[in-house]
Chain A
Amino acid sequence: MTPLPLRSVRVVDLGSAWAGPMAGQLLADMGAEVIKVESRARLDGMRLGRPMIPVANHGDDLAGGDRGLWPELQPVFHGLNRNKLSVTLNLRTNAGRDILTRLAAASDVVLSNFSPGVLQRLGMDYETLRAVKPDIIVAAMPAFGDAGPLRDMVAYAPIIQAMSGMMSLVGYPPEAGEPLVGELQAAWSDTVAALCAALGVVAALRRRNRTGAGQYVEAAHLEGTTALLGVPMLQYQMTGIVPAPTGNDDPEFAPHNNYPCSGEDAWVAIAVRTDAEWKALTQVIDDDALSGDLRFANPLSRWENRRSLDEIISSWTRALTPRQVMERLQSVGVAAMPVMNIADQFADPHLNARETYAEIDHPHVGAELLYGVPWRFSDTPGGIRTPAPLLGQHNRYVLNELLGIDTDELSRLSDEQVVH
């Protein structure tokens, strides 16, 4: 088996919540040794709170809440932190920060998603670290950026999506008279920022491997999210019209919508672009009103009459399940797919064949399903090798084996709540 692509890369992961840990996870899935630095003095927010995992088996262990076993029973954390090691260092202590510096000096990458200024306070900024490790790569993920008027603004994913302009586009077309939707039920901008940071890190590693130079990588959430919005930016400049939500409309297609099917909240996504696709659709629907109707004679007229078209197609889809529509239309080359919720996705043969979910044994949960690796490398596929680490699970490996701190010293550091 070919070794994993990033097997010789060591990453110090100071991330918390979503974006930082996911950037670390993307690198860990591809073989990097990612050491999550955390502490009972300041737990990753994803470890906090009453766990979703049923706790019947744990009885009194749970009495301690966030100080007991709760931090080990958080499934969202388990997804974002699989394949990592955990070392517990209390960064509020000088000794804790000193050890962190030594760990950074023995690593290739330091990754974090702190607010601007925190890295400097910890002595983990690029200028400080390059003195102890000249080719270090420091990757930060500020919300708005390291500078600028919004530098210190508190932000979660929806706030970034609001300021990027993306949120202004999520909704039904203005003539529908609906209030703006705005929200996607997912941490969109966190995921974009995680991918941007991971891309920046591997690009910086390639440059370092060739030149010996490290560097500072800044993946601001606002910039990453806005970097995907070039088309609406140009649309405004080119036409003078401020882009508004378009619902499921896309001028290259008609029909193009999610259509109601038989079943509760059941929908199917149908898109037709070419005349050939249109002809195939009309043959499947077998409705005289469609094939002979001049309103639907060409792509432009179909676009102009798309609302009438939507009604006709809905009356056909309503009698069928989403999967029946998919099978009938895909058999003639027309794009159709059930609009799936997570239950549908779990049962879907394609997503299962693609290993979209993977099972891993967690010491306190047992067999646990996590989201899988998003890409398939033919020779170095990566995968979920180890579950998310328990707090401090790898203290001995990291502190003793890597940094040479002897066991007496370790127990003293533990007593002093430096290793904590």
Chain B
Amino acid sequence: MPRPDRSTPSPDTVPSAPLEGIRVIEWGEVISAPFCAKLLAELGADVIKIEAPAGDRAREIGPFPGNAPHPERSGLFLFANLGKRGVTLDTTAKAGIAQLHSLLQDADIFVENQPYAGLFDAGITEAELRRRHPHLIAVSISPYGRTGDYCEYAGYDLQVNALSGLSFGTGHTHREPLTTPGRQASYLAGLGGAFAAVVGLLARESASATGQGQYIDVSDSGIIATLLTGYHLPTFIYRGIAGYRSGNRMRLGLFPNCVLPCRDGYVCIDAPQLEQYQRFLNLLGDPDWIDNPRYRDRRAMSDRYPEEAENLIAPWFMEHDKAEILQLCLENRIPCAPVLTIDEMLETPQLRERAWFRDHDHPQAGQFRYPGEAVRLNGSPCRIVRPAPMLGQHNHEVFGTPRSASVPR
């Protein structure tokens, strides 16, 4: 395809954000779709978030400053909705749905994660979206996907991690399996949805395309069941191992590959290469046990008698604190690091010195430190220009005069 001469683009005259000029309508709740649209806002899209008059459920979830619930001070809402404008629509009313359609008329990307029944009632189905808005890239993010036996089933992050195989192996052998902490699966789904949305946009804009959008069905469980099973699948097919919980160590690995206590918390070591392991043994002062044949088979140490093996190295960790261990392992090129708690992570020189954190001030919640962009685009840096919207904050701006019953005061 012919491309214009672009050897010397002028930053003054050309749009520079990747999603410059792209309007995203997000009809999302809680995490997956909101986080997806937040990532699109980081890339420069104009994102308008639609909330029911009662607001996104995330506003009730928190965390809240001083543990005092307030719909404009929910940490979850503030984080997942950075950089957007917000409007309220009653999508249970005909007028609200009509307004949604008129927003979609001018939009490029639509992101939603509504329950199946709600979508069906509102008529926001794949067929209807394609009929009325053929240009639209509609990204539907749901726990199980919009097709298949479970598509109408109820599900939250707990069920997603159960179906996708991640929970089964997480946790101690003698205890119940664990879901991912803080609903991480939903964030991963939002990230996957953002990639899919931009791919859909490239398809629409490619030289031979007709400006036609498409429907993209993203499922939280599908992302994990594919992209995180690369080991599980062949281990089952070829070795018959369906999975088990191995607590603080990676199963089927090479010792040492585990999380252990140290003087002031926990550390994680994962040193598969022989040279790394040898440097670690040197650091331990080349202990006597390394001559014992039982402690020469690193696979057996990891799989067959891990606790016994871990007890060999545990005392050294208990004699040191996190900062010492990080320094020693950095100097000796050993893949071993402290398990940072969240307050420690916020102070990490690695993240602070690179100016990655972003402070955002919100009129009702105040100023807090947020994560920076998920990926750095050096030629077109992150474009978050506003905090999360207050409920209905941009109704007037987006709809003109507030006119129908579907727009609250």
Contact = CB atoms under 8 A, between A and B. Distances in A.
Interface string B211-234: 010111111011111111111111
B409 interface: no
Interface string A147-161: 111100111111101
Contact of B227 (A7, A149, A191): A191
Contacts of A89: none
Contact of A166 (B16, B181, B209): B181
B268 A162 contact: yes
Interface in A1-60: 2-8, 18, 22, 26, 30, 52-54
Interface residues on B, range: 35 or more
A238 B65 contact: yes
A369 interface: yes
B337 A228 contact: no
B338 A374 contact: no
Given A199-B194, A376-B217, A236 B167 contact: no
B342 A334 contact: no
Interface in B18-69: 18-20, 39, 43, 60-67
Given A185-B170, A212-B7, A354 B248 contact: no
Contacts of A330: 150, 153-154
A387 interface: no
B6 A213 contact: yes
Interface in B135-152: 144-145, 147-151
A132 interface: no
Interface stretch (A240-248, A392-400, A406-414): A240-248
B216 A207 contact: no
A234 B78 contact: yes
Contact of A203 (B43, B172, B192): B43
Interface string A203-233: 1111111111111111110111011111111
Q: Which of B145, B163, B187 has the most CB of A within 10 A?
A: B163
B379 interface: yes
B336 interface: yes
Contact of B4 (A149, A212, A257): A212
B1 interface: yes
Contact of B375 (A219, A229, A260): A219
Interface residues of A, number: 161
A247 B224 CA distance: 19
A116 interface: no
Nearest to B18: A203
Contacts of A159: 268, 270, 335-337
A335 B270 contact: no
A402 interface: no
A175 B50 CA distance: 40
A232 B158 contact: no
A91 interface: no
A218 B379 CA distance: 11
Interface stretch (B83-91, B196-204, B395-403): B196-204
A87 interface: no
A303 interface: no
Contacts of B292: none
Q: Which of B15, B16, B18 has the most CB of A within 10 A?
A: B18
Given A155-B337, A222-B350, A184 B166 contact: yes
Contacts of B199: 5-6, 30, 202, 377
Contact of A370 (B80, B203, B233, B369): B233
Contact of B228 (A191, A219, A379): A191
B180 interface: yes
Q: Which of A2, A197, A342 has the most CB of B within 10 A?
A: A342
A95 B182 CA distance: 50
Given A203-B43, A258-B167, 11 more contacts: A163-B350, A184-B170, A206-B198, A212-B5, A229-B342, A232-B342, A234-B63, A235-B342, A253-B158, A342-B229, A350-B163
8 contacts: A79-B233, A144-B350, A163-B345, A213-B6, A242-B343, A335-B156, A340-B164, A345-B165
